[in-house]
Amino acid sequence: MLDATSSYNPMDLRIPVDDRTGQHIVAETARRSENRYGNRPTMKDVAARAGVGLKTVSRVVNSEPGVTPDTERRVQEAIEALGFRRNDSARVLRKGRTASIGLVLEDLADPFYGPLSRAVEEVARAHGALLINGSSAEDPDREQELVLALCARRVDGLVVIPAGDDHRYLEPEMKAGVATVFVDRPAGRIDADVVLSDSFGGARDGVAHLIAHGHRRIGFIGDMPRIHTAAERLRGYRAAMEDAGIPVEDAWMSLGVTDPQRVRKAAEDMLSGPSPVTAVFAGNNRVTVTVVRVIAECGRPVALVGFDDIELADLLEPGVTVVAQDAAALGRTAAERLFRQLDGNLIAPERIELPTRLITRGSGELPPSS
């Protein structure tokens, strides 16, 4: 985390205190207060300028009925002249709804989450809500910190891609009316809506695809099994192998290795040795990219199927066969579910699983080479 050495720290919990006397530095506080919003005009100012009452300004601003055209014009002019803009912060306090929803995901820079986030945003926009998002960096503590910060802001709803596996901390929030939908991975120890891709089925089909093309020694490189999707994909791999009656050897599997250097090492190990694998199933987009590199360097053809689509996969030689999940559909589905909750349709929590799609491009159809 970056270090903030600046004086801007609005959520700072301390109040200014003089080191020697322990007295609150009143002058300092006053100066800050004075600058609040740089002295933005309020409805009161507009009312004074237009020579009308406060509530009349409110009426005009909100296009409520019951204002004569003439009064309205005067108010509009005052608004223009002063550059007034309604303070939604205050509005929110009064009305109870913030018209904003929170999205907590793993890393916005990951190409998988960009479209997902965008899809959530579009749905939110259609409902007149803004989107606040934060990245958990796959850290459960940071996830919780973010989620609770969003709850303190009184977001109307939350879309969470869980990093942790215990979300009981959300119970009081959900009880208090914060609509919540989990995406991509299920919630831990709490009953809530979940929207998932069919990781198990996708992986099983992908591995079965390799088996159908004659492979028996198939490697699996996946993320930490504590991540639900990773565990499911591993389960899918095992299921496909078992269905085909192929006993899996430990040397064929790499679990929980994420950093590219070590994924590379794991892939190299599988491809060398006395009985190397002839095909690899890559558990996510980052792994796939690394494995593509390793295979390109290793000289002989190795079949590959990856989970998650990657850009330009079709332009590589051979094209990369993938089990694609629809990130945008995940986001859209989750957000729609969220707003259905907010509409007050009291619905029992549900688990929605979206299908994956096998896209054959060449790499998954290579025959075993040794």
CB of 363 to a copy of itself, least distance (A): 12
- Span 337-356, contacts to a copy of itself by CB under 8 A: 339-340, 342-344
- The tokens for 192 are 């809530």
Query: Ramachandran region of residue 355, left (φ > 0), alpha (ψ -120 to 50) or beta?
Result: beta
Select from 16, 37, 224, 275 the one that contacts a copy of itself (CB under 8 A): 37
Q: For residues 320 and 358, what is the distance between their CA atoms, to the nearest angstrom?
A: 11
Q: Give whichever of 116 and 240 is closer to a copy of itself, judged by the CB atom.
A: 116
Residues that bind DNA (CB under 7 A): 15, 22, 24, 26, 29-30, 33, 36-37, 40, 42-44, 47, 51-56, 58-59, 61-62, 65-68, 70-71, 84, 86-87, 90-91, 93-95
Q: Give whichever of 58 and 360 is closer to DNA, judged by the CB atom.
A: 58
Q: For residues 200 and 171, what is the distance between their CA atoms, to the nearest angstrom?
A: 28
From residue 233 to residue 272, the character string flagging contacts with a copy of itself as x (rule: CB under 8 A) and all else as - is: ----------------------------------------
Q: For residues 147 and 241, what is the distance between their CA atoms, to the nearest angstrom?
A: 39
Select from 20, 23, 27, 65 the one that contacts a copy of itself (CB under 8 A): 65
CB of 234 to a copy of itself, least distance (A): 25
Q: What is the DSSP letter of 49?
A: H
Determine how many CB atoms are found less than 10 A away from the CB of residue 64: 11
314 CB-contact burial (10 Å; exposed 0-12 / middle 13-18 / buried 19+): middle
Instruction: Please report whether residue 173 would count as binding a copy of itself according to CB under 8 A.
Output: yes
- Span 298-317, contacts to a copy of itself by CB under 8 A: 310-313, 315-317
Instruction: Provide CB contacts within 8 A for 36, sequence distance 6+.
Output: none
From residue 133 to residue 172, the character string flagging contacts with a copy of itself as x (rule: CB under 8 A) and all else as - is: xxx------------xxxxxxx-x---------------x
Residue found under tokens 């409520």 = 64
Judged by CB under 8 A, the number of residues near a copy of itself is 98
CB 366 within 8 A of CB 302: yes
